[in-house]
Amino acid sequence: MPPSPPPRYTAAELIEELREAAEEIAPELNGIRPEETLEGEAAQTLEEMADALRRIAAGAPRPQELARIALEARAPLRPFGKPKNTVVKMQRPRR
């Protein structure tokens, strides 16, 4: 009996792995945010395509339009990852 092929990643798992990789590499790329890396853009593209496929499978109207929009990849990049801490500690007034 031939060995069974290894299990494939789901779209959600691939997206999560790509985002983690983007967060790991971004600090090494001066000024590049995780969503701007190849991994970050790939994660968003996969997410948009998976969403379009789910909507088409659910019987959404105009499936060709949904597919065309997903393939164009023109939506702005959405930030992800850990937000930067923007809380500033208040200084005590001088007397």
Please report, for the chain, the start and end positions of each structural domain, with discontinuous segments joined by +.
11-72
- Give the residue, 90 or 5, on which the prediction is more confident: 5
Whether residue 86 has pLDDT greater than 60: no
Whether residue 94 has pLDDT greater than 80: no
Identify the pLDDT of residue 88: 57
The DSSP H or E segment spanning 70 is helix 63-72
**Count of other CB atoms within 10 angstroms of residue 55:** 16
Summarize pLDDT for 10-57 with one digit per residue, the tens: 999 999 999 999 999 999 998 899 999 999 999 999 999 999 999 999
Q: Spell out the long-range contacts of 10-19 with Cβ–Cβ below 8 A and sequence spacing 24 or more.
A: 11/46, 11/47, 11/50, 12/50, 14/43, 14/46, 15/43, 15/46, 15/47, 15/50, 18/42, 18/43, 18/46, 19/43, 19/80, 19/81
Identify the pLDDT of residue 90: 64
Identify the pLDDT of residue 85: 56
